[in-house]
Every structure is written in structure tokens, then in C-alpha cells.
Structure 1
Amino acid sequence: MSPKSKGVEILSIGTELLLGNIINTNAQWISEQLSQLGLNHFRQSTIGDNCDRIIKAIQEISKRSDLLITTGGLGPTPDDLTTEAIAKSFNVTLFERPHLWDEIKQKLSNSKLQDDSSSLRKQCLFPKNAQIINNPRGTAPGMIWEPIKGFTILTFPGVPSEMKTMWEETACDFIKTKFSDNYSFYSNTLKFAGIGESSVTEKINDLLNL
């Protein structure tokens, strides 16, 4: 990203994260990938499955960041609200992608899916001009969408194996091409024994002030 860029944010969505039912490994993994791409990653947020709060968070992020990466909330249940909330954040209508419904039926081969009212069908709804991120390991696709100039959103499901595969097959190249300057961030871990933190600070003060 250029020096004038506003950076990247990660938004993890799911009440189970706030309750401590699961550990948010997705944000950690994405952070590592962003560092390898040399992107300025300034903030991470976690929010529950509440449409109004998700909308507010997305609208705030759109004013301060170039790229938003979300995980969670792409499934078929009523509390999976991510795509709906993103669309409402920018007053955009969702449209069905019929080919995605065909793909879901092929993946699951379940007779119940022939019912057009299946809850899984909501996973086929996206903003009209969104690019679909294929999900080879599950039924919930993600998307790449620029709702306003200079702000892009990438969405991923919360299942780590699905998210990682989608990142590696589609998102990584997109992010690298559009946002990365082909640099990487590196860090070193220094271990000390028998010396206090304040003493170490004094000895490496020139490094800390870079």
C-alpha cells in the first residue's frame, strides 16, 4: 500500500466469539498473511450477530480504511447476517446468483435442496457487481466488493479450513495485485534472562525509537 493508504481492518463476526465459546484463530491467521504481503494492518474488531451493530461497524470502517476483511456470518441460519448487513450499510439490494444455487445442490446432493425455499438459498444473494469468491470446501461463497470508491470488502466464512482455502485460491492474488507494494513485514523475537525490562529498554532504546 502507498504511504497515503488508510490500511486494512479485520472484522470477525459471531456471537460465539464474544461469549468465548471459540478462539478467534481466523484473525490471527489473516494478520500473518497481511504481514507477508506488507500491508498496514491497523485494527481488528469482533462483533456479535446483530445486524444494526454490524452495519454501524462497517460504515465506520469504510471511512477510515481501504480494505475490510470479514470472517463469519455467511451461513444459512437466521443469525448469519454478514452479507445482508454489508448491503444495508450502503443501501444496496441483494440479487440471487442462480449458478451458485446449482453448485450448492451439486455439492450436497440432498433431496431437500430441491425445495427452492431452503435456507441455504440465502447464500446465493450478493450485491449486483460483487465478485464471488468460490468456496471449494463448503457451501457459503464469499465476495470481493467495492461499494464506494477507495473502499473494498472481502468476506469469508468463519470455518477456518474454508476461509484459508478461499484466501489461498482467490483472495491472496487479488490483494497482492491491488493493494500490496510487494514488501513484507518481518519481526524478530529477543529473549533475555537475568535482566529487568527497564534495563533492557535502556540498552536498546535506539531500536525502540525507530
Structure 2
Amino acid sequence: MTVELISVGTEILLGNIVNTNAAYLAEQCAALGLSCYYQTVVGDNEERMEATIRQAVSRSDVVILTGGLGPTKDDLTKEVTAKVFGRELYEDPHSRARIEEYFRRGHAGKVTDNNWKQAMVPEGAKVIDNDNGTAPGLILEGEAIAILIPGPPNEMKPMFDKKIAPYLNALQPEGIYSRMVKICSVGESRAETMIADLMDQQTNPTIAPYAKTGEVHLRVTAKAKSEADAEALMEPMLQELKSRFGDRIYTMEEDVTLEEAVVRLLEEKHFSVTTAESCTGGLLAGRLMNVPGASSVYKEGFITYSNEAKERLLNVNRETLVQYGAVSPQTAIEMAQGVAKVAGADAAISVTGIAGPGGGTKEKPVGLVYIGCYVNGRVHVEECFFHGNREKNRESAVARALTFLRNELLHE
């Protein structure tokens, strides 16, 4: 079965926003066993949208459109798709009631007349409730299937995961089922080399690697008549991956993040943790705070960008800063030890480095980062070299810090 993606929005064409929706949907559709040959971005223009949608439904089994379902006049996706399918629009009482309830709960102030536009749906369409906004999703079935999903990622992703993906999976004679194996402490090239023979021999199930910042994800996918049959097909492959990667696998659950795995490990050991950050400026603490319930292990953290702050808040020795500099293994160690003592924590992680674009030297280039890790009186330090822009270097440092902390906790 073929799927085609159409992203609607002039703001995407102008580069005002990055089209993350298409990347996400392409990956998810591939995991469902759907073949994607075309992806298109079209602006908020009725004539061009109609031509794009007509071409898509003529060559693909399923067309997924994101964006253009809002309440304003330039939101035309629903209207143009209905025209292509020869359907009239009518007001859906169920959708109107949900919009009323959304505003009644105080999510968006007073309801305005143009919001009722979102309750208009094409005849014969399946309405997909939006649990995170006002615009419902829609499925129109004909010679091809058109699936309309709201554009905001925080509405699009949960709607696709919970409601669209199961619908697509049910369309196929055999279901597509998958498991995600998430790995840290191994680079993409090394991970792919370690599974090259498995990839060469794959039939059903299959295995596909996906590189993430500081991580590698391996998706194992099986085609079978039932989920139980698929699990039986995937189990030998999963066991083989466990054998090859060992404790570098931090989860085999789709929704578990690296920071969640770290928090759960801290909870298991009844450890508290604190952070001391320089170049990452709170990103590490933010990743940990993304985890629901992280307050059970994380009490406080420090952003010590200046040398004065490192001395005053973390008790880093001035002599250390003068002799070795703020970006040094010695400073990273003292930051980790100092913040653990100040916070009274069992574990601590420190980050100091040169994120760029300036500030680097021949001896200490941009991308040099030192990470200190303190666990129950033991402290170790890692020297890292990252190659990217400022944002990428900071993200890479955070990912490496989480991995470093996890590894130290595993050996505690």
C-alpha cells in the first residue's frame, strides 16, 4: 500500500517553520509497512492545493494531509479536499459540542464565530476527535483515502499514534507490528556494523536503524495475522540484539526516553541526583524535568556559567580555574563533587565546554566538552569532542551526560 504526504502551509514554503511533521509521518508510515514515494509542500492557495490533491489521489492509495484545518479564511485543506472528492460540507453536531466544551474549559478564551468553521465536515467522512485542540481530524474514503490531520505537532502526533495508525494498520491483509530497541554508548556506524549480518539476512522480521542525537534506535518490524504471531517472529531477533548490545540497550519500549530510563534507574537505587551546568545552560536539567515524577530523585540544580559562579556556588577552587581553565577535566570533577555536596545528592553530573561558534583555541577547540559524574563518593570525567553548531554541540553534550550518568549508575 502506498502513502503520500502533503504538508499544507505557506509558512513552510517560506521557511518560517521547519516541516517536522513530514519527517515524523514518513518514519511512522514506514514502520507500518507503507511505501512512501512522494512528499509535497503546498501553500494556502486553493488552485494549487486542488491540483496537488488531485494528483496525489490519482497515484497513491492513501494521502495524508497536515495543516490548514484552522478557523481562518486561509485554512482551506478540508474545503479543497471535499471538492476533490465531490462532497458537500455540513456542520457535525458532535464536533461542535467538542469545540464548545474546549472553550468552556477555558483553554482559549471566548469562542468566536470563525471557530464553528472547524465543525464543518465533508459528507461521509469519518471524524477523528482531537484531544489536544479544536480541529478534528477527518478520513475520506473513495478510490483513494484522504486523511486530514491538524498541523500543530502536539495535536498531530497523538492523533496519528492513537487513532490514525491503528486505522492504517487495519487496512492491510496482514498487520504490521514493531518493537523499538533504543541504544546509547554506541555510535550509528558502530551499531550498524554490529547488525550488518542481520540486515543482510532479513526477511520477516526486518530491522532498521535510526540515528538520534547521542543514541541509535533499531526498529524491528514483523508482518503477521496477529500481534501474538508477530511477537513470536520478533522474539529471536530481539534476543539476538540483547546478546550483542547488552546493557547499552536502555529500553525496548517505544515511548521511553533516555532521560526517563535514567530517572527510573535512580528510583530503583533510591538515589537522588543534581546537576551543575555551564555550556549547556540548564538543558540537562530540562531533559530530566521532562520525566513525570522526576521530583522524586531531582531536587535542585545549578547553572554556573561564569568562573565566579563556579567558585561561589560549587566551591570550585580558584587555583583550579586559573591553572587549568573552566573547560578542563579538573574543573568538571570539582563541579560534580561540589554540587553533590551542596545539594546533598547521591549522584551528580557536571558539564563544562565550548559550544561555539566562538571561544575556541587550538588547544581547546569549539566542541570540546568535559563531563564529570559523581556517584556515592566516586567521581569520573569524560572528554568529548562534538562537531556541529552551538545548538547541536549542546544537545550532544546533554545526551552524552545522560548516558555517562546511566553507565556509572549501572556499575554502582
1:168 aligns to 2:161 (yes or no): yes
For residues 132 and 159 of structure 1, what CA distance do their matches in structure 2 show?
Answer: 18
For residues 35 and 138 of structure 2, what CA distance do their matches in structure 1 show?
Answer: 21
Query: Secondary structure of the residue that 1:153 maps to in structure 2?
Result: strand
Match of 2:63 in 1: 68
1:48 Cα offset (Å): 0.2
Query: Secondary structure of the residue that 2:63 maps to in structure 1?
Result: strand
Q: What letter matches 1:62 in structure 2?
A: V
Match of 1:182 in 2: 175
Match 1:99 to one of 85, 94, 100? 94
Query: Secondary structure of the residue that 1:63 maps to in structure 2?
Result: helix
Contact 2:103 2:110 (8 Å CA) reproduced: no
1:37-88 CA-partner distances (Å, limit 9, x unpaired): 1111111000000111111111111110000001000000111100001011
When normalised by structure 2's length, the TM-score is 0.42
1:86 aligns to 2:81 (yes or no): yes
- Quote the RMSD (CA, aligned, Å): 2.1
Residue ranges of structure 2 left out of the alignment (5+ in a row)? 181-187, 191-199, 201-412
For residues 47 and 179 of structure 1, what CA distance do their matches in structure 2 show?
Answer: 29
Match 1:48 to one of 33, 43, 49? 43
Q: What letter matches 1:35 in structure 2?
A: A
- C-alpha change, 1:44 and 1:172, in structure 2 (3 Å) is same
| Structure 2 counterparts to residues 102-181 of structure 1, below 5 A | 102-109=97-104, 112-113=110-111, 118-146=113-141, 148-149=142-143, 151-179=144-172, 181=174
- C-alpha change, 1:180 and 1:77, in structure 2 (3 Å) is farther
1:98 Cα offset (Å): 1.5
Structure whose residues are more often strand by fraction: 2
For residues 177 and 49 of structure 2, what CA distance do their matches in structure 1 show?
Answer: 31
Contact 1:38 1:181 (8 Å CA) reproduced: no
Q: What letter matches 2:19 in structure 1?
A: N
For residues 179 and 145 of structure 1, what CA distance do their matches in structure 2 show?
Answer: 17
1:18 aligns to 2:10 (yes or no): no
Moved over 2 A (4+): 110-113, 179-186
1:72-112 CA-partner distances (Å, limit 9, x unpaired): 00000111100001011133211110221111111112684
For residues 129 and 6 of structure 2, what CA distance do their matches in structure 1 show?
Answer: 20
For residues 23 and 91 of structure 2, what CA distance do their matches in structure 1 show?
Answer: 32
1:168 Cα offset (Å): 1.5
Contact 2:139 2:145 (8 Å CA) reproduced: yes
Contact 2:70 2:118 (8 Å CA) reproduced: yes
Q: What letter matches 1:50 in structure 2?
A: N
For residues 52 and 179 of structure 1, what CA distance do their matches in structure 2 show?
Answer: 33
- C-alpha change, 1:180 and 1:47, in structure 2 (3 Å) is farther
For residues 172 and 64 of structure 2, what CA distance do their matches in structure 1 show?
Answer: 13
Residue ranges of structure 1 left out of the alignment (5+ in a row)? 2-6, 192-206
For residues 147 and 174 of structure 2, what CA distance do their matches in structure 1 show?
Answer: 19
Query: Secondary structure of the residue that 1:8 maps to in structure 2?
Result: strand
For residues 177 and 98 of structure 2, what CA distance do their matches in structure 1 show?
Answer: 37
Match of 1:35 in 2: 30
Contact 1:72 1:157 (8 Å CA) reproduced: yes
Q: How many residues align?
A: 180
Contact 1:71 1:156 (8 Å CA) reproduced: yes
Larger radius of gyration: 2
For residues 183 and 87 of structure 1, what CA distance do their matches in structure 2 show?
Answer: 30
